[in-house]
Amino acid sequence: MDFDVIVIGGGPGGYVAAIRAAQLGFKTAVVEREALGGICLNWGCIPTKALLKSAELYEQLGHLDAYGLSVTGRAYDFDKVVQRSRGVAKTLTGGVGFLMKKNKIEVIEGTAKLEKGSPAPKVVVALKAGGSRTVQAKHVILATGARARAIPQIGLEPDGDRVWSYREALLPSSNPKSLIVIGSGAIGIEFASFFRALGSEVTVIEALDRILPVEDEEVSKAAHKSFEKRGMKFRVGATVKKLSKSKTGVTIDLEAGGKAESLQADVAIVAVGIVGNVEDLGLEALGVKVEKTHIVVDEHCGTGVAGLYAIGDVAGPPWLAHKASHEGIHTVEHIAGLKPTGLHSPVPGCTYATPQVASVGLTEANAKAAGYEVKVGRYPFKNHGKNIASGETDGFVKTVFDAKTGALLGAHMIGAEVTEMIQGFTIAMTMEATEAELMATCFPHPTMSEAMHEATLDAYGRAIHI
């Protein structure tokens, strides 16, 4: 064997798995066809947050008078905003390269394909530099990620000009005057928030009856209202029938409530989901089961083929970087014969718009549908001292508890910095804390996190500041 572990894909699932393998003494290699860090560091999580930070600061400059401050003029350099985002991505990609060297992980630059072998499939790499290299290991982990879903039959296919995916949206040459975003999940809403903050006229189309449809219904409604205040427009319950392009823009034909409608804009962003990168890996010849473009895995991310595992986006939802990292660590620890970290620990989700949205666990509706009798608590930021002092009063925290056991079933937030707070509820759920432990916890004052305490207290009729 050339290695103990070969990881195919250097994104947040793959490179984290490789580092954990190296820590455990495995001779490890990573095969990467593009850039270390994967979509997350190069075209997703990180560069989008850099863009959103610029947009957030620009918006805040427009409200300085409320804080007793003023500036002369307010402007932005769009090219510098984009280039800062790319610089942030480049810095972190370089950091992953450093971690590979530090942990003595060999990085093989090229495109991998699997062939039958023992004790795990052989990995044949078409090298970037030319030629090919065949390597073998006792264990192979697929972390090939996913890409934006396209629907070419109706024109929803990025062309780099008038129709964008997340890649084109991260590298625009200018800020479009008008923009249509198709899909209101986290990706669509984040780009809508960014471009709207910098002045674009933005319309979001969602096929379901509400935006951010995976979130708790109360959060979705609050987000819709807040985004509309910022000037976004929405078409919910709307099905896109056709997208047509011209030299000057796009036309989208849709149907909503049984009525036909057409919308025009300079550019459209397609954010209608993702598909797993399962093509050209040799999976069919190995007998790996694939459903809806995702590899089917067992409780330890095994594929059913000896020595072959799959983690992250290619292994199915939720399509989140931290879920991929978590699975990578679990898989390597399982390979090592350790008692691995829990594969099905609560996975939080975050949307970094203005306002932010964060959640973990079951929504109120899902908890009831699962047969739970629930106790629900809510606490609005408009009542909260730190939020009032910060001028960030939009939003609330909502908690969902099992009325019989006191277990925290879910937590849902919308407002400033909630993506930094959701980890508190995630830890509580992982440790199986009940309402008693949460209510007995001493939260620091003044902090926005105190709203988490109040929402817990409210579920049991003990809220102090309502």
Sequence-distant (6+) residues with CB within 8 A of 285 are: 114, 115, 116
What tokens does 232 get?
A: 């976004």
Determine which helix (DSSP H) or strand (DSSP E) holds 180, and give its type and residue range: strand 178-182
Contact 211, 220 (CB under 8 A): yes
Please choose, from the candidates 460, 355, 443, 356, the residue with its C-alpha nearest in 3D space to the C-alpha of residue 408: 460
Contact 276, 303 (CB under 8 A): no
- Residues 227-241 as b/e (b if ≥16 CB within 10 A, e otherwise) read beeeebebbbebebe
Burial of 88 (0-12, 13-18, 19+ CB in 10 A): middle
* 380 preceded by a cis bond (ω within 30 of 0): no
Q: Rounded to 5 degrees, what are φ and ψ at 376?
A: -115, 130
The C-alpha angle 59, 227, 322, rounded to 5 degrees, equals 85
Q: How far is CA 346 from the centre of its chain?
A: 15
Distances (CA, A) of 289 to 71, 112, 229, 304: 60, 18, 46, 8
Cα gap 360→347, rounded to integer Å: 6
Q: Rounded to 5 degrees, what are φ and ψ at 428?
A: -60, -45
Contact 170, 88 (CB under 8 A): no
- Residues taking part in catalysis: 445
Please choose, from the candidates 95, 115, 422, 135, the residue with its C-alpha nearest in 3D space to the C-alpha of residue 281: 115
The answer to whether the Cα torsion of 65, 70, 73, 78 is positive or negative is: negative
Q: Cβ–Cβ contacts within 10 Å for residue 431, how many?
A: 9
Cα gap 179→175, rounded to integer Å: 9
Q: Count CA atoms within 13 Å of residue 434 on its CB side.
A: 7
